[in-house]
């Protein structure tokens, strides 16, 4: 049980099952036993409702390289049925927050790994989820990026958003 507004760390060595657990929580794979509930919603029985409440950040970002960063965020917003008028200002504000606004209209194939990781954070936060599920959030980020992500997590937690993070790093 993880409380609202809590940042919960899930630590273990490589191969311990952290990523598998994250994928189960995000509704990407079914558990072989047991049940997972997101705010009382069974992730297997009602995956769409559970996914509306969550933002998932995988350990390796999956981005369509032939879209610009802003186009990618519009695509993600469409998946969550956000109105176009809502997507644009939120996307731009998030890109500003994560310091990739100057790359908004550049193809993501030109983004560095760290920039792609920041874009994935923007995508995960776009629909204003109540729970963020993050698998190895600081892999490939420079020290400034790490600081930025940790600050964003603290801000979200102070607003009642629950953050579930897996890592193999004690830091």
At 88, is the secondary structure helix, strand, or coil?
helix
**What does the pLDDT look like over 110-152, one tens digit per residue?**
999 889 999 999 999 999 999 999 998 877 788 898 899 999 9
Query: Under DSSP, is residue 127 helix (H, G, I), strand (E, B) or coil?
Result: coil
Q: What is the predicted pLDDT for the residue at 41?
A: 95
Give residue-wise pLDDT tens across range 18-57. 889 999 999 999 999 999 999 999 999 999 999 999 999 9
SS3 47: helix
Residue 12: pLDDT band by 50, 70, 90 thresholds?
confident
- Residue 19 makes CB contacts below 8 A (sequence gap 6+) with 59, 135, 136, 166
């Amino acid at each position: 049980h993880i409380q609202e507004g809590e940042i919960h760390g899930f630590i273990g060595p490589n191969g311990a099952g952290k990523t598998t657990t994250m994928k189960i929580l995000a509704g990407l794979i079914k558990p072989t036993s047991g049940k997972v509930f997101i705010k009382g919603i069974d992730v297997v029985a009602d995956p769409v409702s559970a996914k509306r409440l969550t933002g998932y950040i995988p350990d390796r970002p999956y981005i369509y390289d032939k879209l610009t960063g802003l186009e990618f965020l519009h695509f993600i917003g469409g998946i969550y049925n956000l109105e176009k008028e809502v997507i644009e200002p939120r996307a731009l504000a998030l890109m500003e927050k994560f310091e990739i606004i100057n790359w908004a209209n550049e193809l993501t194939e030109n983004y560095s790994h760290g920039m792609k990781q920041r874009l994935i954070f923007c995508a995960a936060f776009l629909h204003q989820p109540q729970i963020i599920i993050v698998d190895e959030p600081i892999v490939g980020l420079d020290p400034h990026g790490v600081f930025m992500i940790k600050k964003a997590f603290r801000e979200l937690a102070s607003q009642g958003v629950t953050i579930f993070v897996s890592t193999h790093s004690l830091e």
